[in-house]
Every structure is written in C-alpha cells, then in structure tokens.
A and B are shown apart, each in its own frame.
Chain A
Amino acid sequence: MQFCVLLVDDHKIMRDGIKAILSRGEEFRVVGEAESGPDAVQFVKLHRPDVVLMDIGLPGLNGVETTAEILRFHPECKIIILSMYDDENNVVSAIRSGARAFILKKASDSDLLEALRMVARGGAYLSPQVSDRLLSRIQKGDLESRQASSALDVLSPRELQVLRLVAEGKTSKEIAVVLDLREQTVRSYRKTMMKKLGVNNVAGLTQLALSTGLTQLPNAQAAAD
C-alpha cells in the first residue's frame, strides 16, 4: 500500500530534500506541498492525505495550531511534526495538539522513513534524541507543564489560537484571514475570552498570553522556533 503525504514547510529547499528522500522508495507518494498553515488546511480539506509532514515553525498559524485545525476536519489524518530543535515545550505542544510523531530536521533518512512507516500504520514516533531527553526529564520528576498555563485551561483550543494571534498584535480582520473565520466570529471569540479570563481589554489578554508562555515577545519567539 502506498501512503499519500502532504509536505508543509515555508522553506522550499526543505520540501525538496524530503521529497527527494521519499521518492527513492515506493511506500510514500508526495501528493502536495504547502508553505503555510492555512494552505495546508485547505489542501487537507480537499485531498485528505494519509500523512502530513509539517514544520513546527511556520509563520502565522504555526505547526502545532495547524495540526489541531487539520484534525478538526480530518481526524484520521496522521500528522508528523518536524522541528529544528528538541525544546520540551515544542514536543509537548505538538503531541497535545494531536501530532503522532515529533522528529528533528537533522534526523537521518532511516529515522524519517521509520517515523513515516510507524505513523502511517497507526503508531507513534519520537526522534531518539527527543525520547532520550524526555525519559531523562521524567526520571528526574520535572516534566510538568508550566503552572502559569493553568490560567488558560478555561479556554478552548480555538480560543487559544485566537488569543495567541491577538497577543501578537493581529486585528480581528487579520485573525479571521489566518483562521479562515468570519471577522464577527473572531470578535465573538475575543469577547468570550475576556469574560472567561476576567480581563477588560487587549492589553490584559496580551499580558496573560505572555505570562503563561502561550506567546513570546517577537525576539524571543524567533529564537524559540
């Protein structure tokens, strides 16, 4: 059986490299490429690929948020997150969003293919460097999510997406474009969030998003991707 794969990365040079590796075998066929989260969501809605291999550091809607969005429309889709680095927050966020695998971009061809095989057949996979680090953290007993994040537990995944974009300074109109929603719907989300979180304005929302680590100041965000 041949599995259909969508590649999502804003760097064409990365997509080309992965496509070349997959083309060496018969198991996987690249049926599409996307360079942004919204493009990936649109492709999945139309073509329903078996597997999505996606960069975590996409501009706008990032890989984690795009994962959640794709799974809303196509829950059977198997998503693999690719990352330059093995930051614990990235790994945990990716898995929580529904991704079935987290692999580093410096993974060998055999690791990449192994991840694709495992995930395409319903399993899960973590790069050896990632799983080693997680095991070590679990053994030391310090693998806990940030306590401050609990303040946002009352929000739905969609509200968290909107909150992150609000905190990044985007207007309701811009958020509507990124998330493929009506502007009025975004405004409604903002009102609901303010009520749930007990804040009265955008500054309050932004402060909460920063203090809980949901988003970072622009400089720090670039360094963390």
Chain B
Amino acid sequence: MDKVERAGKILHDDVGPLLSAAGLRLQLIKMDYPETAGLVAQVTELLDQAIDRVRAVSQELLGK
C-alpha cells in the first residue's frame, strides 16, 4: 500500500469515525446542558462539513 493510499485509508477508517464519535459526544453535552443547544448545533454543523470533506478527500486518494 503506497503512502497516498494509506493516507486515504486512515482518513476513511480512522478520522471519519472519530469525527462521528465527537458528534455523539456533542449530543451528550446538549442532553445534559440544554442551554448549550445553540452552540452545539453550530459545532455539529462544522463537524458535518468536516466529515463530508474527509470523505471527499479519502475518495480522491483511494482513486474512486
């Protein structure tokens, strides 16, 4: 596996799930502290953009 492919696989297999898991933790903060809902929504939106970006880059690196 070359470096480019390896980078794509790490983004897909490791970074993507980490970002999703971070999103779940944000939901927990919102559940425990409802007053943070507005801020949590803003950070969640940024995370969603990061997830989509990671996917696009990993697909590019993996040659799809």
Contacts and interface: CB of A to CB of B under 8 A. Distances in A.
Interface of A: 11, 13-14, 16-18, 20-21, 24, 84-85, 105-106, 108-109, 112, 219-220, 222-225
Contacts, number: 69
Contact of A106 (B5, B9, B25, B48): B48
Given A20-B28, A219-B8, 6 more contacts: A14-B20, A84-B16, A84-B17, A105-B24, A219-B62, A222-B62
Contacts of A223: 8, 12, 58-59, 62-64
A182 to B, nearest CB: 32
Interface of B: 5, 8-9, 12-13, 16-18, 20-21, 23-25, 27-28, 30-32, 44, 47-48, 51, 55, 58-59, 62-64
Contacts of B8: 219, 222-223
Nearest to A19: B24
A17 to B, nearest CB: 3
B55 A14 contact: no
A42 B54 CA distance: 34
Contacts of A225: 12
A106 B18 CA distance: 11
A14 B5 contact: no
Contacts of A105: 20, 23-24
A225 B17 CA distance: 11
B20 to A, nearest CB: 4
Contacts of B17: 11, 13-14, 84
A112 B24 CA distance: 10
B23 A222 contact: no
